[in-house]
Amino acid sequence: MKTKIILSGIVLLSAISFYGIANAASASLYVYPTNVVKTVGDVFDASVVVNPSGSNACAVEGTLVFNNLTCQDITMTGDFVVQSLPTCSNPHFLVGIPNCTLSEKALFTVKVKAETAINANISVSDIEIIGEGMSIGSTAVSGIYTINPVYVPKIVQPIQEVIPQKVEEPIQQAEELVPEVIEEPIQQTEELEPERTHMTAQEIANSMLKDSGEASLVGDGLNNGYIWVVLIIIILGIVYYFIRKQKKYK
């Protein structure tokens, strides 16, 4: 009976120890947010958090891995004893937690940029979560991100009806035609002597005897007779004047 009681106690203690070890081994890390959708060119933050799962977590060690993301910066988020500070060029870390912790703590924040339209993630490798003198966990949950390409709205150009433009030819100003004035030389008209309507006795006689060839002879005779007639008339007029004058005095 004593042997059975001792064996039963050993089994019970072993079970309790195994439960404690199993419970302690459930501590882990996770990256928050775990599942998000981003666009190429987006810059966003992700936090690395320790989850002790009921055990005292005193130190955390691991290395950050960036898949299809570009690390921009890593910033510690609390008062930790940093043995190895993670950077973008060397993302290995070893962080001590003062007085240990039973609750979740964010260790640091990572700023990353989405460069290409492809699934991306932040994971942690070579993990070891140390409790009070023992390892209490070595697992992590990665942050998974869907990166979409930049949406460029397709601009549909409306079909514009091409209306042929009427080409207006410049109106050529018609040249005003000025009739050419042809100046005819002014012909000086010969000054004509006024035509006499009354012919002298000699002219009448000459026109009548022109064809007989005697015009010159008759003209000479007429000229001489005309003179004598005039002289006689003048003499008779003078005589008549003196006769009347004498009769008047008598």
pLDDT digits (tens, 9 = 90+) for 64-92: 999 999 999 999 998 899 999 999 999 99
Residue-level pLDDT at 245: 75
41: its two tokens: 């060119």
Quote the distance between the C-alpha of residue 227 and its chain's center. 121
Cβ atoms 13, 125 nearer than 8 A: no
* Contacts with 9 (C-beta within 8 Å, 6 or more apart), sequence order: none
Using a 10 angstrom Cβ sphere, with 0-12 exposed, 13-18 middle and 19 or more buried, the burial of residue 11 is exposed
Q: How far apart are CA 114 and CA 120, in angstroms?
A: 8
Q: What share of the chain in percent tops pLDDT 90?
A: 46
Q: How does strand 139-141 pair with strand 28-32?
A: parallel
Residue-level pLDDT at 232: 87
pTM over 0.75: no
What confidence tier does 201 reach under pLDDT thresholds 50, 70, 90?
low
Q: What is the pLDDT of residues 124-173, one digit of tens each?
A: 999 999 999 899 999 999 999 999 999 877 777 777 776 777 666 666 65
